[in-house]
């Protein structure tokens, strides 16, 4: 994606951290993270059928798993990029709780989403599409903040990017 360089800057990784890109697809963002932060250990958590299609020959590691089951990895940071919008609130909270359980003390979750308050007519159409197809939705920053708080994160900071999406950062207290 054209905005992944901006997303990588918003992550503010410290160098040698362990990062889980949960629901990271074929690892495009994960590879951007590795390229921007070469000492960072990045693992993509994905369904087995997606991991089977993963590209080889990169520093990205792969882990078969479900967003809804306990994750077999620990991390300093979890990235959920364009993941939560596919799920209703209860499922989004469940995913966030799995992320929190995988994080070390002082860890952070980065929620990368288009915020509903930032949407145009095209954004409203995207929201409608998500609702019909997945049962998910685009959420406002305040709505996502409430989901993060419910899952046990805090403090929470919003980082607006020059272009969509924005990043909400939730810390493990």
Residues acting as catalytic residues = 85
DSSP letters for the chain: -TTHHHHHHHH---SS-EEEEET-TTSHHHHHHHHH-TT-EEEEEE-HHHHTT---SSS-EEEE--TTS--S--EEEEEEES-GGGS-HHHHHHHHHHHHHHEEEEEEEEEEE--GGG--HHHHHHHHHHHHHHS-----HHHHHHHHHHTT--SEEEEE-SSS-EEEEEE--
Rounded to whole angstroms, the Cα distance separating 115 from 142 reads 9
Q: Could you tell me the two tokens for 32?
A: 């951007």
Say how many Å lie between the first and final Cα of the chain, rounded.
Answer: 32
């Amino acid at each position: 994606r054209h905005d992944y360089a901006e997303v990588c800057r918003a992550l503010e990784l410290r160098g040698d951290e362990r990062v889980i890109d949960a629901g990271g697809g074929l690892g495009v963002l994960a590879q951007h993270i590795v390229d921007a932060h070469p000492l960072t250990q990045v693992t993509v958590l994905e369904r087995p059928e997606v991991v089977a299609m993963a590209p080889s020959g990169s520093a990205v590691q792969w882990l078969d798993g479900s967003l809804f089951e306990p994750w077999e990895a620990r991390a300093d940071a979890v990235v959920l990029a364009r993941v939560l919008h596919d799920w209703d609130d209860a499922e989004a909270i469940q995913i966030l709780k799995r992320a929190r359980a995988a994080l070390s003390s002082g860890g952070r979750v980065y929620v990368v989403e288009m915020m509903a308050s930032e949407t145009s007519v095209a954004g409203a159409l995207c929201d409608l599409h998500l609702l019909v197809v997945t049962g998910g939705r685009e959420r406002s920053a305040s709505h996502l903040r409430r989901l993060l708080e419910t899952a046990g994160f805090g403090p929470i900071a919003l980082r607006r990017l020059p272009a969509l999406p924005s990043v909400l950062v939730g810390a493990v207290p």
